[in-house]
Every structure is written in structure tokens, then in C-alpha cells.
């Protein structure tokens, strides 16, 4: 069964990993992303479910980017990388997709991550009235999505009870991800003291904060059990996507003699120059 967090909101004596050095930067970024999503996809009426899918997809793709960042940094030290940490696979029809513990850790309880998406989702849904027994086995859901990807059914959402006709995560990400990436890397306003940029490893956490707040915003329109399922499933789907489907050219991935070789485009260009 999927591990579950204790009931109630997170104890705020815990600090997010960007606190206190980048507290204002993180607050500005999460508020800006929330405004962007609410402007692009109205949180009321028939679009509320799509808004939650978009929020989950952003967390999942941020988790993938965090894993790729970690993988690139450790390319020369494969002795430090456990088996199945990050894998590039091909489906039965030749499509690329990603899998591995580094991709899953920011999403699921049980990997030792301090602030996984599942924790935020369960707490937000519980606050909106969901019972502990309402939640799916999210580990099993992730396995189901991985099996679908292997068959070539990449990027498809399952038909959850009560869900409508929803956009695919990859289609939403193509529109939203460039703007979100600009927001989380934007300089501080001139009138504010500068703070360190948010580490890419922290992007999934910041976007999980956004997803939980959007679940609260849509609680009157989308039942909490369904909201939790939409966010989690969209995150799992987005985390498996070939990064070129969303952010073409940013990552170069290829098998190598010591495992998966990873290079980020801007760093590679600096080396060549």
C-alpha cells in the first residue's frame, strides 16, 4: 500500500529547503505561478479539473528536471549512483520515456524525500473533507502508468471516476512550462534585497505548494478525492515524458559506457565556447 502522511497540516516548525536564504524569492515565485495558472485556466466551472492536471504536470516535469540535473552532475561519478536511479527507456513503439527513483522521490512518500507531492496532496484533500480511505494506492498508480508507457501509451490520463475530457499533460506543459521556468529563475525585483536562486532540486516542492493551494481553490468544484487523483496522476505522467516533447533541446540524453549520459544544453554550449 502507498505510505500515508499523518493527518493535519505540515508542522511549520519545519523549514522548506530554501528557507531562510531564499524565502522571499520562493514566495514570489509560487504566487506568480499560481496567478499564471489561474489566468490561463479558470479555477471555476468546467476548467477546474484541467487546472489541477496542469498543476500536477508541472510538479512531475519539475521532478524529472531535478533528476536530470542530479544525473548530469554525477555523470563522472557513476560509483555514487545506485542502480535504477535514473533510466532512459523505449516503449514498444520506440518512444523514449524516463523512469527511476530520482524521478519518483519528489512525488511519492517512502523514498525519504522531505516534501514529496503526495504529502501536500493528501493534506490538502483531507482539509477539504476527504477521508483517509478515499486515497488511492499511489505507488500502484505509478506502476500502472509506467506499464502504460512501456506499451507506448505515453502521456495518457486514465478515466478517473467523475473526471471529464481532460487535456494531456504534455500539451499543457508545452504552453505553461516555458513561462513557469522563467518565473522560478527570474531575478528579484529591484526594490527587494537579492536572494539566491531556487535550486532546481527545490522546484518540485515549490510547485507542490502551488498544487495544494489550487486544490483548496477548486474544492467547491472538484471533489477532494478526484482532485488528489488528478494531481498525482498528471505528475506521474509528466515525470515519464521524453523531455524533448516539452522543452526541446535542453537536455541531451544518450546511453554510454558507464550508464545514461546527460548534458544540459546551456552548459554544453559554454564548454564548447
d(CA 208, CA 145): 20
Span 34-62, mean pLDDT? Answer: 94
Residue 88 near residue 260 (C-beta atoms within 8 A): yes
- Taking only the tens place, the pLDDT of each residue in 59-116 is 999 999 999 998 887 765 655 566 678 888 999 999 999 999 999 999 999 888 899 9
Indicate whether 157 belongs to any domain: yes
pLDDT, residue 44, reads 82
- Taking only the tens place, the pLDDT of each residue in 251-264 is 988 877 667 788 88
Indicate whether 262 belongs to any domain: no
Say which residues have a Cβ less than 8 Å from residue 107's Cβ, sequence separation at least 6. Answer: 59, 60, 63, 116, 117, 118, 142, 204, 232, 235, 236, 239
- Taking only the tens place, the pLDDT of each residue in 121-167 is 999 999 999 998 999 999 999 999 999 999 999 887 876 666 667 88
Residue predicted with more confidence, 78 or 224: 224
Report whether pLDDT(57) > 80.
yes
Residue predicted with more confidence, 5 or 244: 244
* Residue 70 belongs to domain spanning: 23-248
Indicate whether 13 belongs to any domain: no
pLDDT band at 8 (very low <50, low <70, confident <90, very high): very low
pLDDT, residue 85, reads 83
pLDDT, residue 70, reads 86
- Taking only the tens place, the pLDDT of each residue in 159-208 is 666 666 788 999 999 999 999 999 999 999 999 999 999 999 999 999 99
pLDDT, residue 126, reads 95
Residue predicted with more confidence, 37 or 83: 37
Indicate whether 36 belongs to any domain: yes
Distance from chain centroid for Cα 67:
11
pLDDT, residue 74, reads 72
Indicate whether 240 belongs to any domain: yes
Task: Domain count for the chain, please give it.
Answer: 1
d(CA 229, CA 122): 10
Indicate whether 256 belongs to any domain: no
**HEC readout, 103-128:** HHCCCCCCCCCCCCHHHHHHHHHHHC
Indicate whether 98 belongs to any domain: yes
Residue predicted with more confidence, 132 or 37: 37
Indicate whether 60 belongs to any domain: yes
pLDDT, residue 2, reads 53
d(CA 237, CA 117): 14
Amino acid at each position: 500500500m502507498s505510505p500515508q502522511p499523518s493527518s493535519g497540516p505540515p508542522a511549520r516548525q519545519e523549514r522548506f529547503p530554501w528557507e531562510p536564504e531564499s524565502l522571499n524569492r520562493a514566495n514570489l515565485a509560487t504566487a506568480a505561478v499560481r496567478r499564471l495558472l489561474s489566468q490561463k485556466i479558470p479555477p471555476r466551472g468546467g476548467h477546474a479539473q484541467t487546472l489541477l492536471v496542469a498543476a500536477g504536470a508541472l510538479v512531475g516535469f519539475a521532478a524529472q528536471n531535478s533528476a536530470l540535473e542530479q544525473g548530469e552532475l554525477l555523470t563522472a561519478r557513476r560509483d555514487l549512483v545506485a542502480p535504477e536511479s535514473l533510466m532512459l527507456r523505449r516503449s514498444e513503439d520506440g518512444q523514449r520515456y524516463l523512469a527511476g527513483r530520482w524521478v519518483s522521490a519528489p512525488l511519492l512518500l517512502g523514498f525519504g524525500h522531505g516534501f514529496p507531492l503526495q504529502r501536500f496532496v493528501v493534506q490538502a484533500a483531507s482539509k477539504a473533507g476527504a477521508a483517509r480511505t478515499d486515497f488511492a494506492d499511489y505507488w500502484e498508480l505509478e506502476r500502472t502508468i509506467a506499464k502504460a508507457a512501456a506499451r507506448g501509451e505515453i502521456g495518457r490520463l486514465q478515466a478517473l471516476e467523475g473526471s471529464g475530457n481532460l487535456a494531456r499533460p504534455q500539451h499543457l506543459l508545452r504552453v505553461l512550462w516555458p513561462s513557469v521556468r522563467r518565473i522560478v529563475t527570474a531575478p528579484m525585483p529591484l526594490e527587494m534585497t537579492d536572494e539566491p536562486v531556487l535550486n532546481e532540486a527545490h522546484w518540485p516542492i515549490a510547485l507542490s505548494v502551488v498544487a495544494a493551494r489550487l486544490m483548496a481553490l477548486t474544492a467547491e468544484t472538484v471533489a477532494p478525492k478526484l482532485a488528489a487523483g488528478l494531481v498525482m496522476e498528471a505528475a506521474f505522467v509528466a515525470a515519464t515524458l521524453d523531455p524533448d516533447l516539452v522543452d526541446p533541446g535542453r537536455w541531451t540524453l544518450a546511453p554510454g559506457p558507464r550508464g545514461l549520459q546527460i548534458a544540459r544544453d546551456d552548459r554544453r554550449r559554454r564548454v564548447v565556447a
